[in-house]
Structure 1
Amino acid sequence: MSLPPLTPGPHTKRLGTVALIATFGGLLFGYDTSVINGALSPMVKELQLTNLTEGMVTSGLLFGAAVGAITGGRLSDAWGRRKSIILMSVLFFVGALTCVFAPNFTVMVVGRVILGLAVGAASTVVPVFLAELAPYEIRGSLAGRNEMMIVIGQLLAFIINAIIGNVWGEGNGVWRIMLAVEAVPAVALFIGMLRMPESPRWLAGKGRDDDALRVLSTLRTKERARAELDEIDRSTTEESRRETLSIGAILRNKWFVRIILVGIGLGVAQQLTGINAVMYYGQSVLREAGFSASAALIVNIAPGIIAVIGAIIALRMMDHFPRRRTFLLGYALTTICHLLIGIGSVALPVGNPARPWVLLFLIVAFVGSMQTFLNVATWVTLSEIFPLKMRGFGIGVSVFCLWLANAFLGLYFPTVIAAFGITGTFFGFAVVNALALFFVWRAVPETRGRTLEKLEEDVSTGNIYIRDLVK
């Protein structure tokens, strides 16, 4: 049955408001992961951190995020998307205060782990919440708004770090001020989500059709809301007749295992592009490239700006450009950028006045390629490829592996770049990106242009692979 067409009205504004409030989780995700970029240098001096403990402070959030991702997905399946996001906002606030008042390395790591639990849960629950609220025609751009807010959060972290660092220098606990700012959007997320609705697809999955219709009717026309609920009910009824999707049932179904492996591959590949090495340690990389400490804080804003521009372009592409083609182009571009960074580091030795600027340009090109073609596409695809009854579990496992890859990269990157320099590090990233390109070409199916219910049917039968990967 075809759905009635989308039409503008008060429901359109309401949908936009719900998406805006929910994506404060993405804003906090971006700020919390990137504020460490500028806070590390003064923190290293005050807390007397080594290369390893510096990596532990950074990766504490990331290991916490791995746990938060997998538990957040399961919690949201059982407890609801909305309540899970409210809980996340509390963890964001508590974690921020713990870090701000941390007297030593140990308490700092505890605070970072608490923040990580919130970040990981946000990375799992918010994209699913948005995908389940969105009409399928604009699902890509609506779900992609979370990634947009992530990069805005990253840019805000870079700008605030640059202002605070250049005004107050690196002493007097300046890093505590940088970390304190994150408490503000945490409060806004908590207050805002108290007035937001639950996911209609989650409600329907729990047999609460009246509540689901009530929510859909505030986000669609009445006719469209009724038709969508009928389609959701048909999908969930057919799925319930097949099997109850416990973890064991998921693992016994080869198509579900395969789609989970695709999700894990996409998540890990995204992290091993090296994007977060730049986002977490950009100041260190730029110092290695030849910039002074104060100049590195300022020019570090450039990758943040290009990330936001790339995310804006990506949002416009999501509803009009095939996902597979986006991934293939993105990994091809990031591979080329990494090769050029490695070659530029060899061709322009330390002391060459052109070296820092050429490497900055190539790093900005890499970040732009990543944000335009890979980041938004990855999170949107993860939010839509899993069937309803395993969606929380599927995205939870995928994002758990994503955060583990991120955490180990964050933990060991200071050691790796100290040992191999920019040249060896980015040549290594080039090899990994080339492998990711091959993986996408061989394994990742197309998801654009299907309702979540149609995707569920195609994934459950394996038709999604036959239809897309033979092309």
Structure 2
Amino acid sequence: MVSAFADTEGPETSRKLPPLTEGPFRKRLFYVALIATFGGLLFGYDTGVINGALAPMTRELGLTAFTEGVVTSSLLFGAAVGAMILGRVSDKWGRRKTIILLAVAFFVGALVCVFTPNFEIMVLGRVILGLAVGGASTVVPVYLAELAPFEIRGSLAGRNELMIVVGQLAAFVINAIIGNIWGQHEGVWRYMLAIAAIPAICLFFGMLRVPESPRWLVDQGRIEEAREVLKTVRPLDRANAEIAEVQELVEEEKEAEKSTISFKEILSNKWFVRILIVGIGLGVAQQLTGINSIMYYGQVVLVEAGFSENAALIANIAPGVIAVVGAFIALWMMDRVNRRTTLITGYTLTTISHVLIGIASFAFPVGDPLRPYVILTLVVIFVGSMQTFLNVATWVMLSELFPLAMRGAAIGISVFFLWITNAFLGLFFPSLMELVGLTGTFFLFAGVGVIALIFIYAMVPETRGRTLEEIDEDVTSGVIFDKNVRKGKVKNN
């Protein structure tokens, strides 16, 4: 059995890095993380707001079932492109400048959607928002992981996922308030969409006051700048030791001509290809749980379960609340429980939830007064399991799996596939519900969950308790794929 908790002695102790002591640097580190995760907040709000805005938008813009799917999925297809492109952009421009660019895109996209006169312009605005969402999903976790000390990297990088679900919950609550108070007003959905401009402004001005990623600066040869950044978020002796460690690794990579390698070079290295497959698999499996079908079409699912439209708008807050609670639990677990243990537990629970939702939909026919409440309860359990064990863990692992030389490109590719899967699910979920019903849809999700469990057990390596530099070395050499090392039973020194 793989122990759920890592030994206190691990590869990090062999590095002899000075301990991470208390001090004012921690406040500075958490302030920087708070600012950067406004990108996650926008990610969550812009993906969640459509849940309540779609019905009044449909009536005003004259959308059909197909164009509803297009409006919903256009952001997701844009996110796939943004994840692919902006990961590479951040390798060239830097993480900080790229996030500032994303803030501008979030603001512009929100304005285009708010003032749209028709379906076509709405799709354009949603694509702009999608580019920003995809970029944020790629760049913000990398920025946080590269800035964080390895001892708290999981919980710090995981804060972005917490902010995503906070953004989604904020969207659900704001939708419910606006929809129930001003629901009869024309253009009520425009008010829902306009709220997103506020955190976009906060992200823009906040990022002007925070530093660049020290690991990216070292990779660019700007050693003293990196040292000065680390001095603000580490004790002095720790900052110097980390700079020496990162500089040594970067110099080794440059000597081997591996600094910021091309996609062709990634494909020529079997270990890089294997870790890229792991990253893609993690992203695709997360989306095929169907979690975002609940986040985008939760109102549709709950109406199908038996709630009225307004009641579904309010009931939809419950999955949002449990998602935030689960995210807090997940952050606590990230630095205490092995990643593989977390993922295997999560896919087991979500698969069981899918089966129970399918059975309940069949056992409690339409018209049964218990049907809506039983299905809502099971949906809440599913979302809670997903958020506690899978969402945070997936994004944290994507931020730490890849060697520095391919990190921006590899996370971009992985998140591209994640978003493409998300987009097609968003586009065709209404059709799937119509074709096979609630029962058949969730049984399909359960089947995918079984495949995901097999993939996690066979392919995904353990990363908790390792510095990014150690993961880098072990992936490059292939050691991390050794059976015992991969499962966290032994640690390579």
Give the TM-score band, short-chain normalised: over 0.9
Q: CA deviation at 1:30?
A: 0.2
Deviating beyond 6 angstroms after TM superposition, the runs of 4 or more aligned structure 1 residues are: none
Is 2:317 the counterpart of 1:301? yes
Q: Which deviations, in whole Å up to 9, do the C-alpha atoms of 1:409-447 show, x marking residues without a partner?
A: 001111111222211111111111111111101110000
- Contact 1:286–1:296 (Cα < 8 Å) also in 2: yes
Of 184, 203, 208, the residue aligned with 1:194 is 208
Of 319, 325, 330, the residue aligned with 1:314 is 330
Which residue does 1:468 correspond to in 2?
Answer: 485
Of 436, 442, 448, the residue aligned with 1:426 is 442
Is 2:25 the counterpart of 1:8? no
Aligned residue identity for 1:198: E
Q: CA deviation at 1:274?
A: 0.3
Which residue does 1:124 correspond to in 2?
Answer: 138
Which residue does 2:404 correspond to in 1?
Answer: 388
Q: CA deviation at 1:170?
A: 4.8
- Contact 1:289–1:355 (Cα < 8 Å) also in 2: yes
Aligned residue identity for 1:102: T
Is 2:153 the counterpart of 1:139? yes
Of 407, 411, 429, the residue aligned with 2:423 is 407
Which shows bigger deviation, 358-367 or 429-438? Answer: 429-438
- Contact 1:23–1:126 (Cα < 8 Å) also in 2: yes
Is 2:92 the counterpart of 1:78? yes
Equivalent residue runs for 1:237-248 within 5 Å: 237-244=251-258, 245-248=261-264
Which residue does 2:193 correspond to in 1?
Answer: 179
Which shows bigger deviation, 414-423 or 146-155? Answer: 414-423
In structure 2, distance between residues paired with 1:127 and 1:81: 10
Of 356, 361, 385, the residue aligned with 1:345 is 361
Equivalent residue runs for 1:226-241 within 5 Å: 226-241=240-255
Equivalent residue runs for 1:270-289 within 5 Å: 270-289=286-305
Q: CA deviation at 1:221?
A: 0.7
Is 2:229 the counterpart of 1:225? no
Q: CA deviation at 1:232?
A: 0.2
Of 330, 341, 355, the residue aligned with 1:325 is 341
Aligned residue identity for 1:438: I
Q: Which deviations, in whole Å up to 9, do the C-alpha atoms of 1:442-464 show, x marking residues without a partner?
A: 11000000000000000001111
Aligned residue identity for 2:121: V
Aligned residue identity for 2:36: A
Q: CA deviation at 1:171?
A: 4.2
In structure 2, distance between residues paired with 1:301 and 1:66: 27
Q: CA deviation at 1:242?
A: 2.2
Which residue does 2:375 correspond to in 1?
Answer: 359
Aligned residue identity for 1:141: S
Aligned residue identity for 2:42: L
Calculate percent identity across the aligned residue pairs. Answer: 68
Which shows bigger deviation, 244-253 or 260-269? Answer: 244-253
In structure 2, distance between residues paired with 1:458 and 1:49: 52
- Contact 1:327–1:374 (Cα < 8 Å) also in 2: yes
Structure 2 unaligned runs (5+)?
Answer: 1-14
Q: Which deviations, in whole Å up to 9, do the C-alpha atoms of 1:203-240 show, x marking residues without a partner?
A: 00000000000000000011000000000011111122
In structure 1, distance between residues paired with 2:184 and 2:139: 36
- Contact 1:131–1:139 (Cα < 8 Å) also in 2: yes
- Contact 1:330–1:369 (Cα < 8 Å) also in 2: yes
Q: Which deviations, in whole Å up to 9, do the C-alpha atoms of 1:22-51 show, x marking residues without a partner?
A: 000000000000000000011111111111
SS in 2 for 1:353: coil
Is 2:34 the counterpart of 1:20? yes
Is 2:173 the counterpart of 1:159? yes
In structure 1, distance between residues paired with 2:86 and 2:282: 19
SS in 1 for 2:461: coil
SS in 2 for 1:352: coil
SS in 2 for 1:144: helix
Q: Which deviations, in whole Å up to 9, do the C-alpha atoms of 1:360-386 show, x marking residues without a partner?
A: 000000000000000000000000010
In structure 2, distance between residues paired with 1:169 and 1:186: 25
Is 2:386 the counterpart of 1:370? yes
Which residue does 2:5 correspond to in 1?
Answer: none
Which residue does 2:9 correspond to in 1?
Answer: none
Which residue does 2:230 correspond to in 1?
Answer: 216
Q: TM-score, normalised by structure 1?
A: 0.99
Which residue does 2:221 correspond to in 1?
Answer: 207
Is 2:448 the counterpart of 1:457? no
Q: Which deviations, in whole Å up to 9, do the C-alpha atoms of 1:322-379 show, x marking residues without a partner?
A: 0001000000000000000000000000000000000000000000000000000000
In structure 1, distance between residues paired with 2:132 and 2:383: 25
Q: Which deviations, in whole Å up to 9, do the C-alpha atoms of 1:167-221 show, x marking residues without a partner?
A: 0125411100000000000000000000110000000000000000000000001
In structure 1, distance between residues paired with 2:400 and 2:186: 47
Which residue does 1:53 correspond to in 2?
Answer: 67
Q: CA deviation at 1:243?
A: 2.8
In structure 1, distance between residues paired with 2:200 and 2:441: 35
SS in 2 for 1:6: coil
In structure 1, distance between residues paired with 2:155 and 2:442: 31
SS in 2 for 1:447: coil
Q: TM-score, normalised by structure 2?
A: 0.95
- Contact 1:243–1:249 (Cα < 8 Å) also in 2: no
In structure 1, distance between residues paired with 2:450 and 2:44: 26
In structure 1, distance between residues paired with 2:375 and 2:469: 46
Aligned residue identity for 2:67: T
Q: CA deviation at 1:18?
A: 0.2
Which residue does 1:90 correspond to in 2?
Answer: 104
Q: Which deviations, in whole Å up to 9, do the C-alpha atoms of 1:134-186 show, x marking residues without a partner?
A: 00000000000000000000000000000000001254111000000000000
Aligned residue identity for 2:315: V
- Contact 1:41–1:170 (Cα < 8 Å) also in 2: no
SS in 1 for 2:367: coil
Q: CA deviation at 1:468?
A: 3.0
Aligned residue identity for 2:208: L
Q: CA deviation at 1:469?
A: 3.7
In structure 1, distance between residues paired with 2:21 and 2:404: 26
Structure 1 unaligned runs (5+)?
Answer: none
SS in 2 for 1:351: coil
CA RMSD of superposed structures (Å)? 0.8
